[in-house]
Chain A
Amino acid sequence: MDTSDILQLDEVSIEVGGRPILHDVSLRIRPGETHVLFGPNGSGKSSLLMAIMGLSRYRVTKGRILFQGQDVTHLPVDERARLGIGLMQQRPPSVRGIPLGQLAEVSAQGKNGTRVAELADQLGCTGLLTRDVNVGFSGGEIKKAELLQLMAQQPALALVDEPDAGVDLDSIAVVGQALACLVKQPSAGAVAPAALIITHTGHILNYLRADVGHVLYGGTLVGEGEGLQLLEEIRKHGYGKCPICRSHIPVQ
């Protein structure tokens, strides 16, 4: 085991509601690296992020998850968050009675130098701080609210689910620049932060460089390459016939 890895997945299999979704997923992310995850709808990309975060619906049935060398496979969600794993969900729940500003302060966990108001200003979402989290938010507002919490949290590993889905071009620019900023800044643990980002369209790659791209297909990771190059291959050939992926797809 290389303790310098931020995240290491060793042949991880995951089921949701008793149904197997992913099998034998292995992955390594090093400090400062940005990885992107491609895959068709329903391939289990979001499930992989949720399982790394530890949400209870997503059960690891085999393998293990190491975060900065520590086995977190069976740790509760909050402990993983406090260790430095952060999640930006695509469809987070609405939370009545809790203003966004309050949750962002909670996310900061008292870290020195985190100024929620400044971050909100940077994201152009100051007006959301006093509103209940995600209640009546538009698609773009939800992305900004999620990102605000993630930036306040300063995680060593940011798990980001489709930051460019369902938002207008202006918002994508704001979200993209903020994400780029997040992975460049030192995390709370003084480790160069890393990210694992799901994207369908690749729009987000206009704003940050993806060191490594992965393809999730048929329930497991089947291809790996430089982010933009991989996206180009998928655009040309589709997931089933992409040469990088095909070389990894097991013969049925």
Chain B
Amino acid sequence: MSDLSLTHSGPIGAREESLRARALQARARPSPYGPDLDLTTFAQPVEHQRQRVEALRSLEQQVREAALLAGIDSEEVGRAASYFQVDYSAIYERIQRRYQGQLELMTTAEALKTYDWLRDYWWQAVAVDQDKYTAAVELAQTGGFFLRVFVGQRVKEAIQACLLVQENNISQNVHNVIIIEEGADAQLITGCTLHPRVETGLHIGVTEVFLKKGATLSETMIHNWAEGFHVRPRTGVIVEEGATFVSNYILLRPVRSVQAYPRVFLRGARARAQFNSIMVGLKESLIDMGTYVELTGQGTRADAISRAVARDRSTMYLRGELVGQHNESRGHLDCRGMLLSEHARMHAIPELLADLAPRSQLSHEAAVGPIAEETVEYLMTRGLPRDVAISTLVRGFMQIDLPGLPEILTKHIQRVLAATAEHSL
């Protein structure tokens, strides 16, 4: 097992006090993006340990179905390890026997007790005082998982982590830390989901990811919320030399508001990042999603593809910012939105910054518009009725490669996309 201590250690107590002080100062600080939320309207976290389970299949059916919609398989077929949290409590962690010794998966609370050096990573990829949401996680954390894949291990099956909210109107404030050690390779499915009886509430998810030299992480995050629910993920990813971060994000259900702008730092030479997002705005959803990447190392590369479909009275912001800080860096944003309703709004905001690196190659293509009538009629000339032509086009529009996904999950996503397309009329 490697020593993961970083160099900036100081007395643990002093660092904790400093983080707390910064969080206290930021606890009223709104985010520059998305609607501001009054956090006092959500029930305050209380100590309440939910009953742990021996197997995910023993969970009630509604919970298993909600988890499945977020890509979490309660039978754990084709899964290397599982973490399951309900409201504030972890109720299950398991590493399949064949993967013992390749990885660790536990609550962050337990990990902090086990490893002093974890304090060196705590709030290093995300700023504790970024806004009131990060501050809330520091001041009133309610769970979160720690995943560590050991040096050189190639975990062939996906690791799954489910964060489920079961009580109405609570604020689930999780802090996750993921460390993929040198030369290791893993796929992670993070499913964020609700019990069907939950109508409102808030999920704040801080996730700090550290990819060591030559490591690879494919993360697929599936969000499955409800019309009255708010979501504020806060993600930071530090990518070292020759490491690769792949992120697939899927949102196909209504939400009251979700605002996220993950920050990825390609620090090492030849570090790479790839983002694929599929989002559907339904009902009154306000979706404000972006990707920020700093290309600092030599030969770094970032590609971000997003496909968004706005229906009903939804509002969608599609953001992206690439910051080239090395002359030998390249990045591209590909952002396309389709509007299927007179009452929907979509705002694409791609930004490129060559930051004292004039030979950094940054580009973007952004398009927002309806389905072209010409294309609908083209399909109709092949005998497709108008409604089938439209749903075929919507489905095709959302069809992007999602690398690193288990086949069963790919099929599930395809089924949901097909159903979404059929209802797109």
Contacts and interface: CB of A to CB of B under 8 A. Distances in A.
A89 B396 CA distance: 21
A93 B372 contact: yes
Interface string B380-398: 1111111001001101111
A82 B383 contact: yes
Interface stretch (A17-25, A30-38, A63-71, A73-81): A73-81
Nearest to A159: B381
A106 B397 contact: no
Interface in B99-152: none
Contacts of A149: 382
Given A81-B380, A92-B378, A93-B375, A76 B396 contact: no
A87 B372 CA distance: 19
Contacts of A109: 383
B379 A95 contact: yes
A97 B377 contact: no
B374 interface: yes
B393 A106 contact: no
A153 B373 CA distance: 22
A220 interface: no
Contact of A81 (B375, B383, B393, B399): B383
A208 interface: no
A9 to B, nearest CB: 19
Contact of B381 (A53, A96, A97, A98): A53
A98 B393 contact: yes
B397 A96 contact: yes
Interface residues of A, number: 24
Secondary structure of the A side of the interface? Answer: mixed
Contact of A95 (B375, B385, B386): B375
B389 A78 contact: yes
B382 A106 contact: yes
Contact of B385 (A78, A89, A97): A78
B379, B381, B386, B397 pick with most chain A CB within 10 angstroms: B381
A103 B395 contact: no
A97 B395 contact: yes
Contacts of B393: 95, 97-98
A107 interface: yes
Interface string A141-176: 000000001000100000000000000000000000
Interface string A101-141: 00100110100000000000000000000001000000000
Contacts of A132: 396
Interface string B259-289: 0000000000000000000000000000000
Contacts of B396: 95-98, 132
A92 B382 CA distance: 12
Nearest to B400: A97
A97 B374 CA distance: 16
A64 B398 CA distance: 40
B382 A103 contact: yes
B190 to A, nearest CB: 26
A93 B378 contact: yes
A53 B398 CA distance: 29
A95 B397 CA distance: 9
Nearest to B385: A78
Contacts of A103: 379, 382
A93 B371 CA distance: 12
B309 to A, nearest CB: 12
Given A53-B381, A95-B393, A78 B386 contact: yes
A202 B396 CA distance: 37
Contacts of B372: 93
Nearest to A83: B383
A106 B381 contact: no
A27 interface: no
A107 B383 contact: yes
A97 B382 contact: no
Contact of A78 (B373, B374, B384, B398): B384
A95 B373 contact: no
Contact of A55 (B377, B384, B392): B377
Given A93-B374, A95-B393, A98-B393, A78 B399 contact: no
Nearest to A78: B380
B374 A106 contact: no
A4 interface: no
A93 B397 CA distance: 14
Given A78-B383, A81-B380, 6 more contacts: A81-B383, A87-B381, A92-B378, A96-B399, A106-B382, A109-B383
Closest 3 CB pairs between A and B?
A: A97-B396, A97-B399, A77-B380
13 contacts: A56-B373, A77-B381, A78-B381, A78-B384, A86-B381, A87-B381, A89-B378, A95-B396, A96-B397, A97-B399, A98-B393, A98-B399, A153-B383
